[in-house]
Every structure is written in structure tokens, then in C-alpha cells.
């Protein structure tokens, strides 16, 4: 079975409920879209992620009320280096959407969404722990999986798989 | 938000309270969960789970393996439902590849998945009851669990770390006598569930320890990212098998049990009802099992049969190439979620077009479910903390990865 090529044209995709809601609110906050393998990805500007999440959660007709996951991908050595990824689920409409934020490698900082979903608490701590991405406004940003005194961020691509000996 | 309790437990702020460590070596924490409690007499003032004792860096290890070599790692994340993890990973990579899975493989996957769910729920029921003080149930549950583990051993050669689902299908045809054995088990099992219920549901001690204990409202459950029976116990109707079907679940009919109060008892009832639904799905899978191949027709991805390797040149070449070089996966990203016994198990796989995954992330249902613990327990007795931890059904291997 051949895979259909991804659609990245904003005009073709603007009927998607999550994208339509975000376009209504602030078209400038959207940096890119992708529809690939039946999954919708919206790249949101770094400074707008909390508002975008709150907007999608509280949307009247098509609410994405459930935060499935927050994670991160390190694209070292290219820039912007980090992608923080949010998977949202609409319980009522059975639909998923993926939000992405791109961050520079020099100072990866993004606003925390714990105020929108308390569920983000552990997920963001995990990303902070393993990637070193800082979340401003997080109530308790400490290491969660690695020991407190650990040096480095193990899931970064420049961190060796065997660790430092 | 009131229910967001990051809870940095500092030193006791009054003379009244004290800090108590529960775990990481505590029998009721199901592994190595450490819970830091601030208590005022017997009452819990604040509670903070401390995790990471079982962190093995599986996500990092995955990035250094070929796609097919990741399958055995997925077993070890959640050691109570290895086949669910196998399935979720296989589905994610198959979606990346655009593979079509033959119906027989899909139905076998559903059948074994539901057996895994029963297996996991039985361990949960036994240990949860043991925590609260009902010892007998533990022995009863492990009796049936043994039957399921034997079925797993029969079909995959392993009792726990099965690695039976592969990318593009399943590893081997089930052996002769497999379906009869499962049918035999499915015939016996509903009566056994009645036995457990006779011991617990309606038992006054059990009711006192579970009714109205560790309540979680539907709003809080959604906001805190809870899923699975923890979410459905609070009355939120979400089951990925029914709502976003995968691997042919749309062909099966089953009910999704819901709770109302969101207490320990409701979560218990949800899981016990799921035991009955699961065995019903197993029966449907046995009755309607289609004929046909068990592997997708993709010679570059799926290992050839042994017979073909001995007779056909191409099969031998493909086998050699898959083993030594792996297979490449077109660039892209996929998030695949399945309903594990504990909730939404998700695999986020990113490919950069090579033979090794660029990133594999597991969305652990337990990690999110554990965040509900402070909301459930604060202001209640220490004894209820044990009941609450049991009712979330945590598996630390999945939380820490």
C-alpha cells in the first residue's frame, strides 16, 4: 500500500476543526501545517502555545478536552533544534491533533501549559529532565526520572547511548 | 487550579505534622513507587509520589536499534501486558510503512490482547485485594492467570516477555490445539469471575474499604489526563477500542462499563466488568477467526517463512538483508494509541528514513494516572492511600521506562 504524500498547504487543510479554530483566533501564530498518514500536525509559534491550547480545550463545537501526551524530539545538529510535541484528543468528537513548537538549541524555553491541563505536570517534567527544555510557569520543574544530581540530558542526540563513562 | 498539587513536600510546617516515607520498598506500592506523605496523625495532609527508581532508558536504547529489534524492548515496559505494547508499537510502525495486515493476524492480535487484558486485570485484582486485606482472592486470581500464561507460552514460547507480534503480522502460526485450549479457558472463566465477585462484591469489609474512598470527579480525571478504568470509573465514556478502533476492533461487539462515583469501588467494578467483556471478545474472535496468511505481503519488511528460505533464492536474500541491515521506513511521524489494561498506551514514532527509529516515545497510561493520586488522597486516612494506589493499577516499569 503506497503512502499518500503529506499535504502541507494551509488552504487545503483549513476545514480541519482545530486549524479552523486557530485561524479564526490568530493566523499569525501558525507557522506551518502538515497532514500526513491521517494525522494532523500544526506548528504553533512558541509564544502562543498556552493560549492555543486553552482555545482548543474550550472550543464550543469541537473541544479538545484531553491532553494525551507532551514529548520532545531533538533534531541536533540542525536548528531550530527542539520540537516540543503536544498530542490533544477530543473525547466527544473522537479526533486527535498534534501541536508542535520549535525551539532553539541555545535556550530552549517555552511556556508551560500546566495552567490549561494539570496533566502536563509530569509530562513537562519528563521533557525537562531528559531534554533540558525549560517550561516557564511550571509549578515544580525538577528532575523526575533521573537522579537529582545527574549531569546532562540523556535523550539529547549528542548524549552517547552508553552514557559518559 | 485546586487539584493541581505539585506538592514540594518541605519540612513540616507546624508541630502537628510529620513526614513519612512509604516505599520504595513497600509491598503495597507494586514495585518501586516511593510516596512521600505529610501526615497529621492518621490524616494525609499532602502527598507526593516520587518515581524514577526503575528508569532504564528504553526510549534512548530504541534509537540505537533496528525497527524490528525494538519489539522485545516493548515487552519490558509494561511487564503485565507485553502483548498490548507489542501491538501498539507494531501498529505505529505499520502505519509509518503503510502496511496492510491480513485479517487473520488482526483477529489473532485482538484475541491475544484481550487475554492479556484479563491477565493484567487478574494480577491487579489479586494484589489490590491483598493490599486491602483479602488474601484468598490473590490465590484464586493467580490460578487463572497461570492458565493464561500457559497459553502465552504455548503460542510464543515465553510466559511473560512474549514478543509475539512483529511488524507486518505475527511471528508464527499458533500451534495445533491452541484454539481448543483458549475455547476451554473461555468456557471456564465466567464462572471464575463469579467466584471473585462472591468473595468481594457485597462483602461488608470490602465495601467499607472501597465505597466512597479516594473519589475522583470526572472533571478532575480529564484534566489530570487519567485514562482507562481510572477515567471510566469516574463516568467518562472513553474507550479507544470502540471510539478509535484499531486492528479490527470495529468487528467486535462489547460494552464499555462505566462508574458513577469515581471511588475505589467503581474502579473495581469497571475492571471486573471488563473481565467479562474481554472474555466475550475472546469468544467472538474464536468464532469468527478468518483463514488466510498471518503476515503482510511485504518481503522487504517481513521475514520469510523457513520453508521458503530453503527453496527460494530471493527469500534467503531478503532474510539476510533484514537481519543485517534492517529495513528502511519512509520519513514521517506517527502517534498510535491503544487501550491498554491501564488506559491510553501511545507510541509516538519518528522516522528519518533510515533503518533505525529517530525517536520512540511511549505515552505511559500509568504516568498520567499517577498524577491523580494527590487529588484522591489528600485529607483522607493513610490506609486509604493504599487502597487508592491499588485502584489506579500502577506498573512502575511503564511509568519509569
pLDDT single digits (tens) B156-197: 888 888 888 989 888 888 899 899 999 999 999 999 999 888
Which chain B residue lies closest to A76 (C-alpha atoms)? B358
pLDDT of A1 = 55
Q: Is B243 part of any domain?
A: yes
pTM: 0.90
List the beta strands (DSSP E) in B106-180.
165-166, 169-170
Measuring CA to CA, which residue among B125, B122, B119, B190 is closest to residue B151?
B119
For B112, the domain range is 67-298+329-358
Residues of A in contact with B364 (CB under 8 A): none
Phi-psi region of B379 (alpha: psi -120 to 50; beta: other; left: phi over 0): left
Which helix or strand (DSSP H or E) is residue B315 part of? helix B313-325
Q: Which of A57, A67, A89 to mutate to test the interface with B (most CBs of B within 10 A)?
A: A89
| CB-CB under 8 Å, B334 with A145 | no
Q: Kindly report the CATH number assigned to the domain that includes residue B82.
A: 1.10.645.10
Is 90 exceeded by the pLDDT of residue A15?
no
Q: Are strands B18-22 and B34-40 parallel, antiparallel or unpaired?
A: antiparallel
The number of domains in chain B is: 1
Is 50 exceeded by the pLDDT of residue A10?
yes
Is 80 exceeded by the pLDDT of residue B10?
no
- Cβ atoms B46, B7 nearer than 8 A: yes
- The arithmetic mean of pLDDT across residues B247-254, rounded, is 89
Q: Is B33 part of any domain?
A: no
**What DSSP letter does each residue of B24-82 carry, written as one string?**
SS-GGGTTT-EEEEEEETTEEEEEEEE--TT---HHHHHTTS-GGGGHHHHHTTSTT-H
Residue B323 main-chain phi, psi, to 5 deg:
-70, -40
Cβ burial of A38 (10 Å; 0-12, 13-18, 19+) is exposed
Q: Which residues contact B389 (CB under 8 A, 6 or more apart)?
A: B28, B29, B30, B33, B35, B131, B373
| CB-CB under 8 Å, A155 with B59 | yes
pLDDT of B305 = 85
Residue B400 binned pLDDT confidence (cut-offs 50, 70, 90): confident
Residue B338 binned pLDDT confidence (cut-offs 50, 70, 90): very high
| CB-CB under 8 Å, B100 with A1 | yes
Q: Is B310 part of any domain?
A: no
Q: Is B134 part of any domain?
A: yes
The percent of residues above 90 in pLDDT, for chain B, comes to 29
Helix/strand/coil percentages in chain B, nearest 5: 50, 10, 40
- Cβ atoms B80, A22 nearer than 8 A: no
- Give yes or no for A90 touching B (CB within 8 A): no
Q: Is B152 part of any domain?
A: yes
- Distances in Å between the Cα of B308 and the Cα atoms of B228, B299, B314 are 43, 11, 9
pLDDT of B185 = 92
Distance from CA of A64 to the nearest CA of B (A): 11
Q: For A7-21, A54-68, B297-311, which range has the lowest pLDDT when averaged over its residues?
A: A7-21
Is 90 exceeded by the pLDDT of residue A8?
no
Which chain A residue lies closest to B344 (C-alpha atoms)? A68
Q: Is B73 part of any domain?
A: yes
State chain B's mean pLDDT as an integer: 87
Which helix or strand (DSSP H or E) is residue B173 part of? none
Q: Is B85 part of any domain?
A: yes
Which chain B residue lies closest to A162 (C-alpha atoms)? B61
Total beta-carbon pairs less than 8 A apart between chain A and chain B? 112
Angle (nearest 5°) at CA B61 between B56 and B67 = 135
- The arithmetic mean of pLDDT across residues B25-49, rounded, is 81
Residue B4 binned pLDDT confidence (cut-offs 50, 70, 90): very low
Task: Give the position of cell 478468518.
Answer: B290
The percent of residues above 70 in pLDDT, for chain A, comes to 98
Identify which of A6, A122, A143 has the shortest CB distance to residue B368: A122
Q: How far apart are CA B389 and CA B131, in angstroms?
A: 10
Phi-psi region of B289 (alpha: psi -120 to 50; beta: other; left: phi over 0): beta
pLDDT single digits (tens) B203-223: 888 888 888 888 888 888 899
Is 70 exceeded by the pLDDT of residue B5?
no
State chain A's mean pLDDT as an integer: 87
- Give yes or no for A144 touching B (CB within 8 A): yes
- Give yes or no for A66 touching B (CB within 8 A): yes
- The arithmetic mean of pLDDT across residues A3-23, rounded, is 80
The percent of residues above 70 in pLDDT, for chain B, comes to 95
Question: Looking at residue B251, what DSSP letter applies?
Answer: G
Q: For A21-35, A40-54, A117-131, B314-328, which range has the lowest pLDDT when averaged over its residues?
A: A21-35
> B287 in helix, strand or coil?
helix
Phi-psi region of B248 (alpha: psi -120 to 50; beta: other; left: phi over 0): left
- Give yes or no for A63 touching B (CB within 8 A): no
Q: How far apart are CA B316 and CA B301, in angstroms?
A: 13
pLDDT of B15 = 65
Residues of B in contact with A58 (CB under 8 A): none
Q: Kindly report the number of other CB atoms within 10 A of residue B150's CB atom.
A: 13
- Torsion angle of the four alpha carbons A104, A109, A113, A118, in this order, in degrees rounded to the nearest 10: 120
Distance from CA of A47 to the nearest CA of B (A): 22
Is 60 exceeded by the pLDDT of residue B238?
yes
- Give yes or no for A39 touching B (CB within 8 A): yes
Q: Is B32 part of any domain?
A: no
B201 grid coordinates: 462484591
Strands of the sheet containing B43-50, edge to edge, are: B18-22, B34-40, B43-50
Q: A128 or B15: whose pLDDT is higher?
A: A128
pLDDT of B21 = 83
B64 grid coordinates: 540505537
| CB-CB under 8 Å, B4 with A121 | yes
pLDDT of B2 = 37
Task: Enumerate domains of chain A plus CATH numbers.
Answer: 10-136 (3.30.460.80)
The CA-based diameter of chain A, rounded to the nearest angstrom, is 54
Amino acid at each position: 500500500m503506497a503512502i499518500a504524500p503529506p499535504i502541507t498547504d494551509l488552504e487545503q487543510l483549513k476545514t480541519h476543526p482545530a486549524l479552523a479554530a486557530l485561524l479564526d483566533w490568530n493566523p499569525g501564530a501558525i507557522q506551518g501545517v502538515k497532514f500526513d498518514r491521517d494525522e494532523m500536525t500544526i506548528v504553533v509559534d512558541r509564544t502562543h502555545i498556552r493560549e492555543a491550547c486553552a482555545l482548543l480545550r474550550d472550543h464550543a463545537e469541537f473541544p479538545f478536552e484531553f491532553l494525551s501526551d507532551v514529548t520532545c524530539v531533538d533534531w541536533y545538529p540542525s536548528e531550530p533544534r527542539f520540537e516540543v510535541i503536544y498530542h490533544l484528543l477530543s473525547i466527544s468528537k473522537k479526533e486527535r491533533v498534534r501541536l508542535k513548537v520549535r525551539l532553539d538549541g541555545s535556550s530552549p524555553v517555552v511556556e508551560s501549559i500546566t495552567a490549561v491541563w494539570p496533566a502536563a505536570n509530569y509530562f513537562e517534567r519528563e521533557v525537562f529532565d531528559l531534554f533540558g527544555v525549560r517550561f516557564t510557569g511550571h509549578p515544580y520543574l525538577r528532575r523526575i526520572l533521573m537522579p537529582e544530581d545527574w549531569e546532562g540530558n540523556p535523550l539529547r542526540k549528542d548524549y552517547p547511548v552508553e552514557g559518559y563513562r | 487550579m485546586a487539584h493541581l498539587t505539585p506538592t514540594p513536600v518541605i519540612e513540616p510546617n507546624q508541630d502537628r505534622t510529620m513526614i513519612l516515607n512509604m516505599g520504595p520498598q513497600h509491598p503495597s506500592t507494586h514495585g518501586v513507587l516511593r510516596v512521600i506523605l505529610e501526615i497529621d496523625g492518621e490524616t494525609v495532609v499532602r502527598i507526593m509520589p516520587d518515581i524514577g527508581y526503575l528508569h532504564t532508558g528504553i526510549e534512548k536504547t530504541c534509537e540505537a536499534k533496528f525497527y524490528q529489534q525494538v519489539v522485545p524492548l516493548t515487552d519490558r515496559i509494561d511487564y503485565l501486558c507485553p502483548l498490548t505494547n507489542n501491538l501498539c508499537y507494531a501498529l505505529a510502525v505499520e502505519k509509518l510503512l503503510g502496511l496492510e495486515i491480513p485479517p487473520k493476524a488482526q483477529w489473532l492480535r485482538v484475541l491475544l490482547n484481550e487475554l492479556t487484558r484479563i491477565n493484567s486485570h487478574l494480577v491487579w485484582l489479586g494484589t489490590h485485594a491483598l493490599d486491602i486485606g483479602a488474601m484468598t482472592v490473590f490465590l484464586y486470581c493467580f490460578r487463572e492467570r497461570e492458565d493464561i500464561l500457559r497459553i502465552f507460552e504455548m503460542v510464543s514460547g515465553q510466559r511473560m516477555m512474549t514478543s509475539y507480534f512483529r511488524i507486518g503480522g505475527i511471528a508464527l502460526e499458533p500451534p495445533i490445539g491452541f484454539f481448543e485450549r483458549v475455547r476451554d479457558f473461555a468456557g471456564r472463566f465466567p464462572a471464575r469471575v463469579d467466584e471473585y465477585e462472591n468473595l468481594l462484591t457485597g462483602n461488608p469489609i470490602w465495601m467499607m474499604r472501597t465505597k466512597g474512598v479516594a473519589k475522583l470527579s470526572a472533571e478532575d480525571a480529564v484534566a489530570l489526563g487519567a485514562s482507562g478504568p481510572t477515567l471510566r470509573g469516574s463516568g467518562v465514556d472513553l474507550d479507544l477500542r470502540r471510539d478509535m478502533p484499531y486492528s479490527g476492533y470495529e468487528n467486535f461487539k462489547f460494552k464499555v462499563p462505566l462508574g458513577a462515583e469515581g471511588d475505589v469501588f467503581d474502579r473495581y467494578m469497571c475492571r471486573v466488568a471488563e473481565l467479562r467483556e474481554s472474555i466475550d471478545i475472546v469468544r467472538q474472535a474464536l468464532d469468527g477467526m478468518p483463514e488466510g496468511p498471518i503476515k503482510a505481503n511485504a518481503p522487504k519488511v517481513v521475514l520469510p517463512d523457513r520453508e521458503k528460505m530453503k527453496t527460494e533464492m530471493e527469500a534467503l536474500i531478503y532474510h539476510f538483508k533484514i537481519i543485517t541491515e534492517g529495513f528502511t521506513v519512509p520519513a514521517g511521524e506517527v502517534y498510535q494509541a491503544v487501550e491498554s489494561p491501564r488506559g491510553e498506551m501511545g507510541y509516538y514514532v519518528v522516522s528519518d528514513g533510515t533503518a533505525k527509529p529517530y525517536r520512540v516515545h511511549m505515552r505511559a497510561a500509568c504516568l498520567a494516572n499517577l498524577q491523580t493520586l494527590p487529588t484522591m488522597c489528600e485529607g483522607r486516612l493513610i490506609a486509604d492511600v493504599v487502597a487508592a494506589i491499588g485502584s489506579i493499577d500502577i506498573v512502575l516499569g511503564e511509568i519509569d521506562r
